[in-house]
Amino acid sequence: MPVRIAHLLNVLALLAISFVLLFAFYDQFANGDLPCPLCLLQRAGFVIVGTGLALNVLLGVDARHYGLMLLGAVAGGEAALRQVALHVVPGTGGYGAPFLGMHFYSWAFVLFGVVVLGTGVMLVLGPSRASERVRRGGLGLLAVALFAVMTLGNGVSTLAECGVGLCPDNPTSYEALDSLLGR
């Protein structure tokens, strides 16, 4: 696969990961659905995947960056599968509202599987060695900037929700923010 195509695929995948984080962030504020600890671990998995993609976009395609993506996808997929297993028992209900017929954690598990599959394909069909840098275009820089903003936003909201301690199992408010404001 030509380096330019591999670069473009990494840019598009980074935009997709950024939109996943953006949608979860939007749902958190628009619908008041505070993320549970397993949800936060899934977001962290997407951030790790996105970091590997951003490294590929900024520094050139490298198998080590794909390795980082695989680690993030496996860790995030494990958290998603754990949450699916918690809610698959009849009568337990789900966490949050379904989206297109499935809960976010089910979608996260599917997306992490797609990341593993896509990363494997890129490792097999992509450039055989660390590639030279491709001229960074506007779309690549936009993708990295959007990802950085989403990562920072999710980090700040997690800190507001959990503080520096353990996150509550079933969050009802931004505990650290409430504590800081004396509520």
Phi and psi at residue 25, to the nearest 5°: -65, -45
Phi and psi at residue 11, to the nearest 5°: -65, -45
In this structure, the number of other CB atoms found within 10 A of the CB of residue 25 comes to 17
Query: Model pTM?
Result: 0.88
Helix (H) or strand (E) holding 31: none
> Domain ranges in the chain?
3-181
* Structural tokens at position 100: 């297109």
Q: Give the CATH number of domain 3-181.
A: 1.20.1550
Residues comprising the chain, all counted = 183
Tens digit of pLDDT for each residue in 68-117?
Answer: 999 999 999 999 999 888 877 777 666 666 666 777 888 899 999 999 99
pLDDT at 153: 94
Q: Which of 15, 18, 28 is nearest to 140 (CA)?
A: 15
Whether the predicted pLDDT of 176 surpasses 80:
no
What are the beta bridge partners of residue 102? Answer: 99
Q: Which pLDDT band holds residue 131 (cuts at 50, 70, 90)?
A: low
